Amino acid sequence: MAENFYTILTNTGKAKLANAQALGTTVQFSSIAVGDGSGNYYDPTESQTALKNEVWRGAINQIKTDSENPNWIVVEVVIPTTTGGFTVREAGIIDSEGDVIAIGKYPATYKPALAEGSGKDLYIRMILEVSNASAITLKIDPAVVLSTRGYVDDSISTHNIDSSAHNNLPYLKTSEVVVSPEPNKVLKLDAAGKLPGDITGNAATSSLAVNATYWNGRRLLDKASTTQPIGLVLVEPGGGAGFWDWVDLDGNPVMPPPGYFSSRPEYQISVSTVDDQAMVEISQFYFLVKTLPSGPYAGKQARFVNKTAFSGAKLHPAFLNGGVEISSFYIGAYEAFDDGGTKAGSSIKKPPLVIIDFPTMVSRCNARNASGVTGFSLINIYQIAAIQMLAHVEMGTTDSQSVFGRGNCDSLVPYASGGWALSTGYTNAIWRGIHELWGNTWCMVQGLENRDGAIWVWDSGGGKSFVNTGEVFPNSGYPTEMHVASGANFDLSALYLPKTTISSQDNGTYSDYFWITKDGTKVCYYGGGWYYGSQAGLFYLNLGTAASNSSSISGGRLAKV
């Protein structure tokens, strides 16, 4: 029988939070403890005052309210690489007085020790639902806390939009030096206060007007550049994730500062409620895949995105529906769950909808189109590709696990032995409000089929009719190159479909695996499941499974136009 994973408040926790709310005080969360459950799963109870078998305890990294529900408290801790040799099956939140406030049942995850020849940080995330989030504070010792990437990025972004953040920095004087467009060189203002290139000065007023700033030979992008195309060029294939660099449309290297992509119009991605479902809105953008004609990367291929049209660009096919442009589409913020036995839904803290075949998943998603509601469906390959493209350009790499989070990819037992999917919203495989974007369960995807190795896709005009592209899939392996061919009613440059693969992950250009069998018609699954480890990620595709398959590791996700 599949296990269910969840977090509950203990009786002590309930009493302390109720008392804090009544008296206007707070409960200080200080640490998270994890245990192995004495070797087995068990169902936590409200009467517990300790874990069954604690194996590690560490200071909480961060406490925050969920961006979509102010009564959900997200508590995070990182178990560092240097600690390990145990399996996590239970976790508890401890307050400053040493009391267990909440206990969670956690999917069995082995934390290796360095002495075993493998090491990794393990990210633990617990979610509590409380009536008053202000009753909780964090007691923290900064000397012993590790920061997650998300926390650092959020902090930098907040700092960068603070207009007073740099008031303590002295103004440049004409006698001082500034960095030139060439790396590792500095230039002084001359008597007239002039500098070459985009940097000008005025000696009379001892002031500088800097029209372009450079970092290590790259133009540092500013707010004015957010309406101009930005691209990502593959500098060198291989190495496990390829070697990439950001470029402008002329092929010149550029450097996006922290928070830059959040200010670009095509990255204004928001979460909203549609038909009572948590949905993420992706707005229309244009794209271009081209070989750079000049610059230091001349002859190499780059992908560009921009909110508005630019020279050579096309509207991404995800924004065409029946041949008509649409301004945006929606996808579920969470994996699909069983909404009433007949529909697929999208909400936090729900068991993913699994153990149904592909046609049934399509039917469950379409079933939301009732009582005047229209446009719901199972997510399709163009919508997945639009998300991949935006995230790829933002990451500057293909290794989504290292940038955004591992996700639920390390459970020990294959799906045939039971179910190990976490409830929705419980992993750190998140990009801009889209949870479990990889790992946890496979996501069924419409619009792409493998027919004896041949690539068949929905037409690029949004007509939802399959087109034989005349192109073929490679064998299973790690992608080294993606298809970019186009023809009548199809354009593979809008998608991320492998053209060539290699057996070794260390030599791949895309970090995530591609799996295929070429014997009949197979449908598309995306992302990887709970035990796929480093193979799972933003670019993992499975085209080796028939539409009739159903399992506890195969799920889906809503979409709406």
On the 0-12 / 13-18 / 19+ scale of CB atoms within 10 A, 224 is: exposed
Cα separation of 95 and 381, whole Å? 46
Instruction: State whether residue 283 is helix, strand or coil.
Output: strand
Choose between 260 and 81: higher pLDDT.
Answer: 260
Q: What is the pLDDT of residue 269?
A: 92
Choose between 340 and 137: higher pLDDT.
Answer: 340
Segment 189-207 shows an average pLDDT of 38
Q: 6 CB contacts (<8 Å, ≥6 apart)?
A: 104, 105, 349, 423
Q: DSSP secondary-structure letter at 434?
A: B
Cα separation of 210 and 195, whole Å? 10
pLDDT in tens, 403-426: 998 999 987 655 444 457 889 998
Q: Give yes or no for residue 140 having a pLDDT over 50.
A: no
Backbone angles phi, psi at 19, to 5 degrees: -65, -40
Cα separation of 285 and 316, whole Å? 6
Characterise 41 by phi-psi region: left (phi > 0), alpha (psi -120 to 50), beta (else): beta
Q: Give yes or no for residue 217 having a pLDDT over 90.
A: no
Cα separation of 126 and 104, whole Å? 7
Helix (H) or strand (E) holding 385: helix 381-395
Q: What is the pLDDT of residue 72?
A: 79
pLDDT in tens, 418-464: 457 889 998 999 999 999 999 999 999 999 999 999 999 999 999 99
pLDDT in tens, 35-66: 999 988 899 999 999 999 999 999 888 888 77
The bridge status of strand 521-526 relative to strand 514-516 is unpaired
Q: What is the pLDDT of residue 208?
A: 34
CA angle, 520 as apex, 519 and 526 as ends, to 5°?
90
Strand partners, 126: 75
Helix (H) or strand (E) holding 479: strand 478-482
Segment 397-407 shows an average pLDDT of 92
Segment 231-257 shows an average pLDDT of 93
Q: 99 CB contacts (<8 Å, ≥6 apart)?
A: 12, 13, 16, 49
Q: What is the pLDDT of residue 116?
A: 65
Cα separation of 559 and 561, whole Å? 7
pLDDT in tens, 78-114: 888 778 888 899 999 999 888 999 999 988 888 877 6
Residue 236 near residue 480 (C-beta atoms within 8 A): no
Q: Give yes or no for residue 395 having a pLDDT over 70.
A: yes
Return the percentage of the chain with pLDDT > 90, whole number: 60
pLDDT in tens, 277-315: 999 999 999 999 999 998 899 999 999 999 999 999 999
Instruction: State whether residue 386 is helix, strand or coil.
Output: helix
Q: Give yes or no for residue 171 having a pLDDT over 50.
A: no
Q: What is the pLDDT of residue 413?
A: 55
pLDDT in tens, 222-241: 877 899 999 999 999 999 99
Q: 397 CB contacts (<8 Å, ≥6 apart)?
A: 241, 242, 244, 403, 511
Local confidence band at 115 (pLDDT 50, 70, 90 cut-offs) = low
Local confidence band at 20 (pLDDT 50, 70, 90 cut-offs) = confident
Q: What is the pLDDT of residue 162?
A: 46
Quickly tell me which residue has 């004087």 as its tokens.
173
R_g (Cα) of the chain, nearest Å: 25
Q: Give yes or no for residue 512 having a pLDDT over 50.
A: yes
